[in-house]
């Protein structure tokens, strides 16, 4: 259940990120993506 919610959040965030053109938002978005993927992989390992 947690994996499904995380997957949906990641997909929605990536789709929203592609629509943003502002570089600062994209930079913050990429940092947030890295943070989300780290949480996701930690959840998969555990």
Structural domains in the chain (count): 1
Question: pLDDT value at position 24?
Answer: 64
| pLDDT beyond 80 at 43 | yes
pTM over 0.85: no
Q: Residue holding tokens 């570089």?
A: 23
- Write out the H or E segment, with its range, that includes residue 12: helix 2-19
1-41 pLDDT, tens digit each: 788 888 888 888 877 766 665 666 667 778 888 888 888 88
Domain that holds residue 29: 2-45
Which tokens belong to 11? Answer: 């997909």
- Cα 9 to the center of its chain, rounded Å: 7
């Amino acid at each position: 259940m947690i994996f499904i919610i995380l997957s949906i959040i990641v997909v929605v965030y990536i789709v929203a990120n592609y629509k943003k053109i502002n570089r600062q938002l994209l930079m913050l978005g990429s940092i947030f993506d890295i943070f989300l993927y780290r949480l996701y992989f930690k959840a998969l390992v555990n």
